[in-house]
Amino acid sequence: MKRLYTFLILLCVIAPKISLADEGMWLPMFLQKLNYADMQGKGLKLTPEEIYHVNNSSLKDAIVRLGGGFCSGEMISKEGLFLTNHHCGYSVIQANSSVEHDYLKDGFWAMTREEELPAEFSVSYLVRMEDVSKRINGDLTDDMSEMDRAKKVSELKKEIIAEMNEKDESLDYEIKGFFKGNEFYMLVYNTYDDVRLVGAPPSSIGKYGGDTDNWMWPRHTGDFTMFRVYADKDNNPAEYSKDNVPYQPKHHLPISMKGVQQGDYAMIFGYPGSTDRYLTSYGVKLATEKDQPARVKIRRKKLDIYEAEQAKSDKVRIQYASKHAGVSNYWKYFIGQTKGLKRLNVYGKKKAQEDAFMYWVKADPKRTERYGEVMKTYEEAYAQFEKGTLAQTYLFEAIFGTEIIRHGFSYLRLKGILEQLEFYKSGKFKKEDSFKTLSKADQATEIAGLPDKIKGLEGQRDGLVAGLRGAAKGYHKDYSPVIDQQVLVAMLQMYDKDLPDSDKPQEFNELMDKYKNGYMGLGLEVFENSFMTSEAKENAFLDNPSLKAMNKDKGVQLSEMFLGFYRAVIPGKVQKANLLKEKADRLYVEGLRKMNPDKSYYPDANSTMRVTYGNVLNYKPQDAVRYDHFTTLAGVVEKFDPSNPDFELPERLIELYNKKDYGKYADKDGSLHTCFISNNDITGGNSGSGVINGNGELIGTAFDGNWEAMSGDIAFEPQLQRTISVDIRYTLFIIDKYAGASHLIEEMDLVWEDKK
């Protein structure tokens, strides 16, 4: 019976099949080979060349990578205008807000080009992808250790990039591993640094639903922001200048005004950040039982502190808006993912796949020789992870999540330079063995060169001080010592109570024994003593930086202690496990692809451009419940609750609803559609990605996933997984009818009928 059961598992897991069209984050350069027939069957009307082409204009040229891939966007005019999510632009909106100009509350609309605000991030356009796997893998051998392998890969990447820079240094080059290090591709980008904020709705529209609705459907959020890219007069990248002109993209997306229907084709281009679809049952167990519960607990405590203080002051509300959003988003994500992994029995499904893999391996001596130890290697790796995971999680989430400790890291280099200056100026260097063993002549040379050495160190000190002074201004603009002191005390308490002494610095354990008032006493002393708690104190210190002051500063002491512990101890707890896992991952994925030669596999997301395609679809989340594929403005007003900050609404929007003044943005059913869902496969980094129909026209902007499929980064669930997007017509309605920024609509190409 056991053999029959194993055989049935094998049939289910390894039977050749084509991947479902809705699952997969596909590399655009391979769409014609792997996906094009599927895409046509779903409703695509474009040619492969119209989607991805190196030399000619194609859809890829309209897709924007924000920064290094923290979000995505899409070009919507020939004048450099691009669209992304409100939450992607949130930090820019917050940074430009004040009590007098509260763009978070009131929104921001540049009615002229001169009113557009610098965004302080760059954007990149993919020029091309190149397969460099043969070049890199050709210099790797199976008998290399994992560390030697990683070192060689790094060397080869640098070598290839150096060669490319010699040919054209105006472009940016990245080489990344795919399929767990089995393949390597070079990504070539053109990066523009002059980006400006053009328009953003108030948070009561752009963040409507807040934490309550985050990751939920039905959704009614107008989650969009607009920016403009600027270039020099020749359309090349340039630093910010008033002389720059709007960038003219190789392609921008026309905008469909027809709306979406159940079953319509939907395709998303963007830069998904990371997935772990090849994670094993060992990883699922560690995540659900240890790592994620710890992250949820720590983040919830921070949020409680933030929210209590934000409610007391508009200034603090604005200061901590972006910080709160960053902590909150993944607090809820980890809750949902843990529940989803358990509810959908992802552990059991992963275990079945692993059993089937080993059944396949043992059926052939050569496969056994290559892959026979894979699961044992995983077992050894995760035994190590079990010992070190919580130490690392608590250090990153709790300790490094405290602002004053994190800010203190920036002072440790200065402290090192001040120590060197004292060492040389005091003459202590003469007592070192390294000096004593020198000949008299060499000692004299060393002493003679001392003034130049000191002068060089003083130059480094002065440069660092100037940089720290500039950083201090930005840091204190959005900093509340009242909040940070509470967070520090709470995090120190969690860190001490939840971890064994062996997972904490010995100095910290001794510190806790010293303070009679415990965490409160230490927190009070830090904030009474440290120069980092106010801009005035920090500038006073930087006016005359001294080693004595730094050695007495409790904030600097904590930063140095915890960073030192992280560097000296944490790698020893998890480094061996990481190396074992990397080897097992590479062999496991290689074996899976050989085991299923007729199946099209896609690599995990890694902040490189991907395409996902499928259809606009409703879904059934549970028994007797079915969700429609769209929401309307009526649902926005139904949720309106002036007593709940998540569901406040501007009077202007309610007025437009009451008058049913939707203009040309109404659906054919007479309502104003706000959001829709599709079965596209996305993750973090895809936020702001354009949702494109079969004609290559923009129909919406992706901004979220759904609660029932929060396990999706690890295991895609076709019946449940949905992407939530803002209907482009709602976006245009807000720009035009709500904000009166019709000049922006005039830049866009609106399409009213399907192509024949």
* Residue whose C-alpha is closest to residue 177's, from 129, 127, 133: 133
- Confirm if 399 and 505 have CB atoms less than 8 A apart: no
Residue 521 host element (H or E): helix 518-529
Within its chain, how far is the Cα of 624 from the centroid? 36
Rounded Cα distance between 263 and 265, Å, is: 6
Residue 174 host element (H or E): strand 172-178
Q: Going by DSSP bridges, is the β-strand pair 108-109/194-200 parallel, antiparallel, or unpaired?
A: antiparallel
Whats the size of the chain, residue-wise? 756
Residue 190 host element (H or E): strand 183-192
How many other β-carbons are positioned within 10 Å of the β-carbon of residue 168? 10
Rounded Cα distance between 706 and 1, Å, is: 39
Q: Going by DSSP bridges, is the β-strand pair 225-231/245-246 parallel, antiparallel, or unpaired?
A: antiparallel
> What are the percentages of helix, strand and coil residues in the chain, rounded to 5?
55, 15, 30
Residue 291 appears among annotated catalytic residues: no
Q: Which amino acid is at 559?
A: S
Residue 223 appears among annotated catalytic residues: yes
Tokens of 336: 């949902």
Residue tagged active-site, from 77, 328, 687, 725: 687
Residue 410 appears among annotated catalytic residues: no
Place of tokens 């062996």: 502
Residue tagged active-site, from 223, 291, 553, 681: 223
* Residue whose C-alpha is closest to residue 208's, from 619, 709, 631: 631
Rounded Cα distance between 347 and 327, Å, is: 27
Within its chain, how far is the Cα of 18 from the centroid? 30
| 146 to 180, 278, 642: CA distances (angstroms) | 13, 19, 58
| 93 to 100, 124, 311: CA distances (angstroms) | 14, 21, 20
Helices (H), 321-439: 321-343, 346-362, 365-371, 374-394, 403-408, 412-425, 433-436
Q: Which amino acid is at 156?
A: L
> DSSP readout, 440-497?
HHHHHHHHHTHHHHHHHHHHHHHHHHHHHHHHHHHHHHT--HHHHHHHHHHHHHHHHH
| 498 to 159, 294, 298: CA distances (angstroms) | 46, 9, 11
* Residue whose C-alpha is closest to residue 695's, from 749, 630, 631: 749
Residue tagged active-site, from 53, 86, 87, 476: 87
Buried b (16+ CB within 10 A) or exposed e, 436-465: eeeeeeeeeeeeeeeeeeeeebeebbeebb
* Residues annotated as catalytic (active site), given as ranges: 87, 223, 687
